[in-house]
Structure 1
């Protein structure tokens, strides 16, 4: 476990003005709160928050973030409260700790609908303060470093979540070193044989060629000295997962893979970056199509660097990245550079992206997505993107993901341009809309009045923004046609069971199916997202067959002894499907009440008379009475139609009792015999759908006497 003094020294190394007292207090508080807790490895639990804090010191983050790392599990896993953390360490730290706690509780690798909703919550938390996700990424990194202590099945779940969500998110935030380590640690769990194979080939290659990195580093340094350029050269072999991914993408074996070594040249000025580029290209032959200038055209997360690939020693391809020290800091820590400190001063790195602006640009297009699948697709497309830069006819730069087409370009300019697109020119030459745009190309969109998006565009577009806009436009185009078709389908389906799809019926079906309104219902029915059987069943479930096993009346209730007789309490008329309680009476009689019956309060001081009962599962006979309070129109034939409808639902009318008569309405109590609560619900639903029914509810009378049994 890292001692408090050592952690403070790590912070003080880049921030001499750090609040040492507060960090030590947070250390002691976390140690106290987690006392007695242990990790899967058997280590004291508090070793984890300390290591998370140490990871964040590598990014030279502010005191609030370091303290949050020390306390990030206290609210969730200990007796510490939000108020206590706020009182001791300030509202800023308490909000950050609470934000990390909420992120921890998100199950991002769950079902698609749940995952999309949790991604929304993730972006909401990020938009409030991006430091929350920085702590969470450091938390995940340490968990992945120590993942071997977990059960194998849990390792796979965590590794897959890391590979699918946290590593791409770190990359999208510009934190490349963290992304690479997260990917490699997850790769080690998900495909240990593949990783081991890459490592074995590396060892073999080093035996055959010697230390290639050292030799190329010396060659580059020599060329820079000749050009009188002061710069540092850092060479490394790429991570196993990075190599594996290139092998999969290019469908090449290890021996045919060229750029497995990467070199970074860190200069003092931006001007030196271009001088270095000239020196490198003079000495070695550049590989066509492998040059990118992210200094003149930075990525949206602040990344700046010149990338080039050259044929180095023995014809081996070498990737070179050229950047200044400030650019390098942003390249390593991305958006996190905004909070970094040097010598006690908040880093004024000119290349660090403003987090608020960055998160706004990332989330603005997701806000319009109502469909879970669309939202999830848009998020993942954005997280996994690698950019290309192209130009509009006016010379404006447009950033798009690799593989983007003119359709993506059109929607990036404006949704109206995208919807009206009929063709495109790239570098003044007419091209198909599925053409892939390359870096530096000029794109012109040809539009026409009255043009609308085509469904095939969904297969051509690559950006979430374009796909979302196309889907919205297609839905709008098809909506009216689907509504008309949906009504015809509904009319035929309801006619088949002897009913009519009135506005009231369709409104009820929409409510039952949790849709906004009947128009949405008809549109989904017309587009085959719903089938007509589901719509009819939503209003008239009794008109569909019930294949459950029938339950005889003598074994309808479980919990009685063989010599006990059961009667239903008339005050609440409990039906099969409702929770019930039995009250015993002298002479082996038991009266069943619904669990919410008001009269149960009379027996609160006699707990010995209570019995735990429940209904047998299955299809009961329609012999259980219930009462419906009904208000209907006072018109000829209305009561007859209501009675017929009750009969159609296989419910027997035991009695009718008129309680109020008006010139235009009747109010009556209908005593019916039913199978269960589901039968009651479907009957009331069908009655409510009738246009002549103004109001309906279940009637219970607490004043009705208990059956004639002898009290105890």
Structure 2
């Protein structure tokens, strides 16, 4: 750190009296008594520069603004953070809100402190469409800074914690918005990083701000617990302490009190009354070693009988945030469950402080299971996924999905342990192994049993993914994956496939248009092509071809310029549609650039024509579609389309079916459609009276022959009075 030489801030900031420290600084200095004298001197210097920079600025409460960054630094000092983090905390709002620059901070306190301050700085000075996008982009930037130094998120969480403690000065709308953001983003991040104390306070303060009446009611009920319960708590604690002492196990025994937020969450999630949620006694036993933890577990189980299937060993298999403990639930002497957690002093420190414990507890903090290492792995994964997302808002949604409070722990065939969010599918597991494994997944084996990719996984299962090189992601996959990594990878791959299909289709369309002018892409002079691409700001030919397929540029107009010929009108048939010897053949697998019109629902075998629509690509219609009359007004947008011999997939069709209106008629029709190997997509009544019902069935078929087979099968039913394709 640079502690001598000129300070650039002196040129732009007023002086501060270093001899007279305000009361809040005395409190802060008491919290930093673990630092050396020189380090505390640096903190006073940071306060002087920060106070001068924020001179004249006040908080909503009327206090000098500098009290906020000092309070943020005090939150971190109480957790034993290093001096660089505390310096950055005191200065964390200066770059954004004062004349002080990043260069000034780097010159005075070093590059590391400047980097930390810059990482926390929000992006309010940039222009965004709305507050939501600004917050999302700010979060993205913060996450990138976190990937370089985890202390950025510690400062940000402390900043949010102090803001929540002083939220009363804000108006009601701001309080609700900030509280919701805290509960959705910052409290889950604190939990993901193992910072239980910070998480618990953020949740409770957020709950109080968002639902003040509910918070007050629950808090009052907690304070007014009956004497019987308090006596029961003391009796259980005494019994456990006595048995542990008899086995000469040195320990700390703490009774755990539920917070209003944890009670409220459990009441909502499990649909339980307040009394049922509170009717659980909780204890934490802190011991000297891992061996003592397992020894104490035996003592506890000998004191009170354990409830079956309620034991969890998070020491052998730590949670994703590095949390380690033994969890057991006992059948208490008063008929109420007794929840007990057993852990070592180090585990207790990590459970309370998470990654912050790394700076205050030096032993054993660098292993593969440490909170620090796991946090880095999680953030690295998020940073990788953010490169593939289309927008900051989409990225923020993926992060929210990834912040599940519970995980399932699964085994690979080699015995590696992977943690995934609750309700994760086999496909989530595939993407957790590797993106390529997910993209090529076709099925899975769970505990040696073959299952589909949408299968939900449970704790302790052994999962093996079956892949095929020909397999590609499908849009339906997004309906059942829950992890952010899987959603991002699937979306990225689908976009890539759609782009490739668009380029191929655009190539064929432009080739047809050039052929009509006795030219081809190969014969277009390179300078003319380069000039066209530069004029219309296309980085390369593929971008132009994709734009043609998506209907954003007409192939005939592009061909006119590239061929260098004069404009002429394309010949048309007697019904006003363009003539062409060559049709573009489609096989149904084109994604995002060819869609099938809902007005006429074409299927393979129908005579069809494509209509070029901006942003949608080619919309395929049947030649007997009633809307064809309207489209004749724009013959230049029609594209000759035909079916490829290798057409595949399921195509939508609609049937109008008249049946006798009697019990069981609908079921018989549905069964006949199923027997004809067709799926029913939708059923609705068009007309209905005492004798006759008219229904519309939306079904899926392979082609016209398949559709005809379905119609024949249904027509044979005695209850069917008439059937026709719509």
Q: Does 1:349 align with 2:370?
A: no
3-state secondary structure, aligned to 2:385: coil
Query: How many angstroms apart in 2 are the aligned matches of 1:157 and 1:283?
Result: 48
Q: Give the one of 141, 147, 171 matched to 1:127.
A: 147
Worse overlay, 244-253 or 361-370: 361-370
Q: Is the contact made by 1:290 and 1:309 (CA closer than 8 Å) also made in structure 2?
A: yes
Query: How many angstroms apart in 2 are the aligned matches of 1:512 and 1:226?
Result: 87
Partner of 2:360: 340
The Cα of 1:62 is off from its aligned counterpart by 0.8
The Cα of 1:337 is off from its aligned counterpart by 1.9
Q: Give the one of 388, 400, 409 matched to 1:369.
A: 388
Correspondence list, 1:136-147, <5 A: 136-147=156-167
Q: Is the contact made by 2:281 and 2:336 (CA closer than 8 Å) also made in structure 1?
A: no
Partner of 2:187: 167
The Cα of 1:425 is off from its aligned counterpart by 2.6
Deviations 1:648-706 (A, max 9, x none): xxxxxxxxxxxxxxxxxxxxxxxxxxxxxxxxxxxxxxxxxxxxxxxxxxxxxxxxxxx
Q: Does 1:152 align with 2:168?
A: no
Partner of 1:252: 272
Q: Is the contact made by 2:324 and 2:351 (CA closer than 8 Å) also made in structure 1?
A: yes
3-state secondary structure, aligned to 1:425: strand
Query: How many angstroms apart in 2 are the aligned matches of 1:293 and 1:515?
Result: 57
Partner of 1:10: 31
Q: Is the contact made by 2:191 and 2:321 (CA closer than 8 Å) also made in structure 1?
A: no
Query: How many angstroms apart in 2 are the aligned matches of 1:512 and 1:289?
Result: 69
Query: How many angstroms apart in 2 are the aligned matches of 1:107 and 1:214?
Result: 59
Residues 476/72 of structure 1: CA separation in 2 closer, same or farther (3 Å cut) = closer
Deviations 1:401-441 (A, max 9, x none): 22112111222223333333333232223334333222222
Q: Does 1:434 align with 2:454?
A: yes
3-state secondary structure, aligned to 1:210: helix
Correspondence list, 1:589-600, <5 A: none
Partner of 1:708: none
Q: Is the contact made by 1:10 and 1:54 (CA closer than 8 Å) also made in structure 2?
A: yes
Partner of 1:72: 92
Partner of 2:108: 88
Deviations 1:167-203 (A, max 9, x none): 1221222111101111111111111122223224324
Query: How many angstroms apart in 2 are the aligned matches of 1:123 and 1:83?
Result: 22
The Cα of 1:258 is off from its aligned counterpart by 6.0
Query: How many angstroms apart in 2 are the aligned matches of 1:218 and 1:512?
Result: 83
Q: Is the contact made by 2:187 and 2:203 (CA closer than 8 Å) also made in structure 1?
A: yes
Residues 152/228 of structure 1: CA separation in 2 closer, same or farther (3 Å cut) = same
Query: How many angstroms apart in 2 are the aligned matches of 1:203 and 1:505?
Result: 81
Q: Does 1:178 align with 2:198?
A: yes
Residues 243/536 of structure 1: CA separation in 2 closer, same or farther (3 Å cut) = farther
Query: How many angstroms apart in 2 are the aligned matches of 1:226 and 1:109?
Result: 67
Q: Give the one of 318, 322, 337 matched to 2:338.
A: 318
Query: How many angstroms apart in 2 are the aligned matches of 1:56 and 1:433?
Result: 44
Query: How many angstroms apart in 2 are the aligned matches of 1:635 and 1:390?
Result: 63
Q: Is the contact made by 1:11 and 1:18 (CA closer than 8 Å) also made in structure 2?
A: no
Q: Give the one of 100, 103, 108 matched to 2:120.
A: 100
3-state secondary structure, aligned to 1:55: helix
Q: Is the contact made by 2:120 and 2:142 (CA closer than 8 Å) also made in structure 1?
A: no
Query: How many angstroms apart in 2 are the aligned matches of 1:87 and 1:446?
Result: 56
Q: Does 1:54 align with 2:70?
A: no
3-state secondary structure, aligned to 2:241: helix
3-state secondary structure, aligned to 1:315: coil
Partner of 1:291: 311
The Cα of 1:515 is off from its aligned counterpart by 7.8
Residues 187/360 of structure 1: CA separation in 2 closer, same or farther (3 Å cut) = closer
Q: Is the contact made by 1:108 and 1:115 (CA closer than 8 Å) also made in structure 2?
A: no
The Cα of 1:358 is off from its aligned counterpart by 3.6
Residues 275/62 of structure 1: CA separation in 2 closer, same or farther (3 Å cut) = same
Query: How many angstroms apart in 2 are the aligned matches of 1:419 and 1:362?
Result: 17
Structure 1 unaligned spans of 5+ = 494-499, 541-631, 642-712
Superposed CA RMSD:
4.1
Q: Does 1:27 align with 2:69?
A: no
Residues 311/507 of structure 1: CA separation in 2 closer, same or farther (3 Å cut) = farther
Residues 43/237 of structure 1: CA separation in 2 closer, same or farther (3 Å cut) = same
The Cα of 1:535 is off from its aligned counterpart by 5.2
Residues 536/234 of structure 1: CA separation in 2 closer, same or farther (3 Å cut) = farther
Residues 521/20 of structure 1: CA separation in 2 closer, same or farther (3 Å cut) = same
Worse overlay, 177-186 or 418-427: 418-427
Q: Give the one of 421, 435, 447 matched to 2:441.
A: 421
Q: Is the contact made by 1:238 and 1:261 (CA closer than 8 Å) also made in structure 2?
A: no
Q: Give the one of 244, 247, 253 matched to 1:224.
A: 244
Residues 104/481 of structure 1: CA separation in 2 closer, same or farther (3 Å cut) = closer
| Bigger Rg over Cα | 1
Deviations 1:269-297 (A, max 9, x none): 11111122222223233344433322212
Query: How many angstroms apart in 1 are the aligned matches of 2:170 and 2:407?
Result: 37
TM-score (norm 2): 0.64
Query: How many angstroms apart in 2 are the aligned matches of 1:634 and 1:444?
Result: 55
Partner of 2:413: 393
Worse overlay, 186-195 or 218-227: 218-227
Residues 480/102 of structure 1: CA separation in 2 closer, same or farther (3 Å cut) = closer
Partner of 1:190: 210
Q: Is the contact made by 2:548 and 2:554 (CA closer than 8 Å) also made in structure 1?
A: no
Query: How many angstroms apart in 2 are the aligned matches of 1:264 and 1:297?
Result: 19
Residues 419/61 of structure 1: CA separation in 2 closer, same or farther (3 Å cut) = same
3-state secondary structure, aligned to 1:437: coil
Residues 37/276 of structure 1: CA separation in 2 closer, same or farther (3 Å cut) = same
Q: Is the contact made by 1:300 and 1:358 (CA closer than 8 Å) also made in structure 2?
A: no
Partner of 1:380: 400
Query: How many angstroms apart in 2 are the aligned matches of 1:193 and 1:515?
Result: 58
The Cα of 1:455 is off from its aligned counterpart by 3.1
Query: How many angstroms apart in 2 are the aligned matches of 1:385 and 1:513?
Result: 49
Q: Is the contact made by 2:381 and 2:485 (CA closer than 8 Å) also made in structure 1?
A: no
Query: How many angstroms apart in 2 are the aligned matches of 1:111 and 1:489?
Result: 42
Worse overlay, 40-49 or 478-487: 478-487
The Cα of 1:19 is off from its aligned counterpart by 2.0
Q: Does 1:236 align with 2:256?
A: yes
Q: Is the contact made by 1:175 and 1:332 (CA closer than 8 Å) also made in structure 2?
A: yes
Q: Is the contact made by 1:335 and 1:355 (CA closer than 8 Å) also made in structure 2?
A: no
Q: Is the contact made by 2:411 and 2:417 (CA closer than 8 Å) also made in structure 1?
A: yes
3-state secondary structure, aligned to 1:353: helix
Q: Is the contact made by 1:234 and 1:265 (CA closer than 8 Å) also made in structure 2?
A: yes
TM-score (norm 1): 0.65
Query: How many angstroms apart in 1 are the aligned matches of 2:565 and 2:101?
Result: 67
Residues 433/112 of structure 1: CA separation in 2 closer, same or farther (3 Å cut) = farther
